Structure 1
């Protein structure tokens, strides 16, 4: 479809020459099949006259009849008008042919027979022009629809990413604010981590996909900041398969799961809180799993956004837009723990070390 859709992306100049060449070929065929009994000058005039009348019929069909009737589902009106235009032009082409051939005919030509012949030819050629144009119009409409869908999707994805950045920044600044109130020596460390995170969001996340090595580094910075805030005895384990570092995924797709695990898994009401984060490469797919403890009275997280907030509802929407039919999201909500597992089929792309250094 993309190949044929390019027809409608050509310049007007290119389309003009395509049509000109077609009618020159049509004229040449008329000249080739011109009556043998007429001289060269009359044959050239005969071919020009026939071509002009067919050009008028096809132009009326493509410019007026087809867009106003056929493409609007008024098929019977279209056919009636197509036949009417052919009937209207038949006398002109018939009289023209009689005039050209009259002085050179070696035998009598019945004008009624000629009229019948020309009428059928006009209907056939005009109808064939519709059969060529209709598929191209359909491809044009489909191309415009696909372009509109792509633009809408790009706009929606950008909107979702714009929601993510302030969301993380808000939480991180809250952490920094709490430490500055205590005049903690850990505040400079948070500033450095935050600087790395902001650099990643501003300069890396504009790409459709990023290397997972950088995404994992972003997650590690986030965890380090959270560890500074949660100084109590919490168990936080983290494991990323090295093979994933050279793979690519949409940016900021994993962090909402980590963020929610810290939000709901490390609470004072829990005697022993824990968070376990794992990312594995299995059969060409990333399997990202986050498990966290939770207080018994607290309901589990959900994708509705009531507990997970912007994060989980956002990431689910992004997955549906970016990786349709390529992801699987599972929730395991138990009385004392909550687990979410995301599986995404990754694209097979070579790792560019030079590009990674930029």
Structure 2
């Protein structure tokens, strides 16, 4: 609207750019770009009057946008908007055109001026106001709809990012807590394994701090993170666990994956092994890459006592896997499959992701 009114003001100035601008014959449009000193005053005077008319037209548009559409239509519905528009036409039109008719330029009958010298209650004045409202209302509604859609999209993205950050923050401290417990126990025993634990913990923290908050990391970096985690747990559970690990290296792979996803079922398996530490526990981790499809199978021993404990602590059971399911739904949507639960005497978690 501002661009259209600005163009109209410029065109009015050009149309009155000669010394007889205010005495033109009816409905005659004369444009001269050759403006001399004597015509410059007429040009400025026409520009001022045209700007006043443009401001009044803008007021009609602005009141329709801010009050009729935003208040009446937005809060009270279509019927109230139509009634309000009718009253607005009856009141606003004579007020605006009485101000326009005060200007000397309104005495002309140029086609570019939305007025005449025959009176402020002429039907064409109401037609002009109604046309302005009728033409601008769909454009205003379309712009409002576009802005609303954009804000909803931005809000959805912000909520998604906030939820992902929250879920990821729920995972990282758990790793640190377990690792520090391992080191603390070995240091108290003055074990030679303490330096190895510190080295593995350093690698874990480096991945979590520098890569854990990125959207995607190389698949091989994520698998290295898992290898350090397994080595750290092997030192702690040595003699109480049977491990079957298949984590092939993909040094030449360009595949990317969201960080700290694959570690969740693996950490869950070791957590059950620790809880069942009086017995010998079996853990099998198998990772395969077929094209873009990554498959991870993680199994661990599952005793009747563990099943009973899970029933008694349902609200605290499987939090990591539930968070994993939410993260996968937010990031990979329909490009993943996650299934987990008891399978005979084992707990099994199957995860498949279509990588980028």
So what's the TM-score if we normalise by structure 1?
0.76
Q: CA deviation at 1:221?
A: 0.7
Do the aligned residues in 2 keep the contact of 1:53 with 1:89 (CA within 8 Å)?
Answer: no
Gaps of at least 5 residues in structure 1 are: 1-18, 103-108, 348-358
Q: CA deviation at 1:215?
A: 1.1
Q: CA deviation at 1:28?
A: 6.3
Do the aligned residues in 1 keep the contact of 2:101 with 2:117 (CA within 8 Å)?
Answer: no
CA distance, structure 2, for counterparts of residue 216 and residue 305 of structure 1: 30
CA distance, structure 2, for counterparts of residue 167 and residue 99 of structure 1: 78
Name which of 140, 148, 168 aligns with 1:161.
168
CA distance, structure 2, for counterparts of residue 124 and residue 49 of structure 1: 20
Q: CA deviation at 1:53?
A: 4.3
Name which of 20, 25, 33 aligns with 2:7.
25
CA distance, structure 2, for counterparts of residue 276 and residue 334 of structure 1: 13
CA distance, structure 1, for counterparts of residue 209 and residue 167 of structure 2: 15
Do the aligned residues in 2 keep the contact of 1:30 with 1:50 (CA within 8 Å)?
Answer: no
Larger radius of gyration: 2
CA distance, structure 2, for counterparts of residue 89 and residue 100 of structure 1: 21
Partner of 1:65: 68
Name which of 69, 78, 83 aligns with 2:81.
78
CA distance, structure 1, for counterparts of residue 229 and residue 315 of structure 2: 21
SS at the partner of 1:136? helix
SS at the partner of 1:150? helix
Do the aligned residues in 2 keep the contact of 1:179 with 1:187 (CA within 8 Å)?
Answer: yes
Partner of 2:287: 279
Q: Does 1:179 align with 2:186?
A: yes
| 1:300-319 correspondence to structure 2 within 5 Å | 306-308=316-318, 310-319=319-328
Q: CA deviation at 1:211?
A: 1.3
CA distance, structure 1, for counterparts of residue 211 and residue 119 of structure 2: 77
Gaps of at least 5 residues in structure 2 are: 16-23, 31-41, 110-115
Q: CA deviation at 1:269?
A: 5.2
Q: CA deviation at 1:66?
A: 2.0
CA distance, structure 1, for counterparts of residue 120 and residue 63 of structure 2: 25
Q: CA deviation at 1:200?
A: 1.3
Q: Does 1:37 align with 2:26?
A: yes
| 1:239-318 correspondence to structure 2 within 5 Å | 239-243=246-250, 245-265=253-273, 267-268=276-277, 270=279, 273-299=281-307, 306-308=316-318, 310-318=319-327
Which string of whole-angstrom CA distances, capped at 9 and with x for unpartnered residues, describes residues 32-60 of structure 1?
8xx96257689x69966764543332122
- Give the direction of change, closer, same or farther, for the CA distance of 1:125–1:196 in structure 2 (3 Å limit): same
CA distance, structure 2, for counterparts of residue 29 and residue 87 of structure 1: 30
Q: CA deviation at 1:101?
A: 5.4
Q: CA deviation at 1:311?
A: 2.0
Q: CA deviation at 1:324?
A: 2.5
Partner of 1:354: none
Which string of whole-angstrom CA distances, capped at 9 and with x for unpartnered residues, describes residues 293-329 of structure 1?
2224421979966333x42222222223322233221
Which string of whole-angstrom CA distances, capped at 9 and with x for unpartnered residues, describes residues 100-145 of structure 1?
259xxxxxx9969982233223112112212111121122222222
Q: CA deviation at 1:72?
A: 2.2
Do the aligned residues in 2 keep the contact of 1:275 with 1:291 (CA within 8 Å)?
Answer: yes
Partner of 1:147: 154
Q: How many residues align?
A: 320
Do the aligned residues in 2 keep the contact of 1:294 with 1:336 (CA within 8 Å)?
Answer: yes
RMSD of Structure 2 on Structure 1 (CA)? 3.6
- Give the direction of change, closer, same or farther, for the CA distance of 1:51–1:169 in structure 2 (3 Å limit): closer
SS at the partner of 2:244? strand
Q: Does 1:196 align with 2:203?
A: yes
SS at the partner of 1:299? helix
CA distance, structure 1, for counterparts of residue 248 and residue 334 of structure 2: 24
- Give the direction of change, closer, same or farther, for the CA distance of 1:131–1:241 in structure 2 (3 Å limit): farther
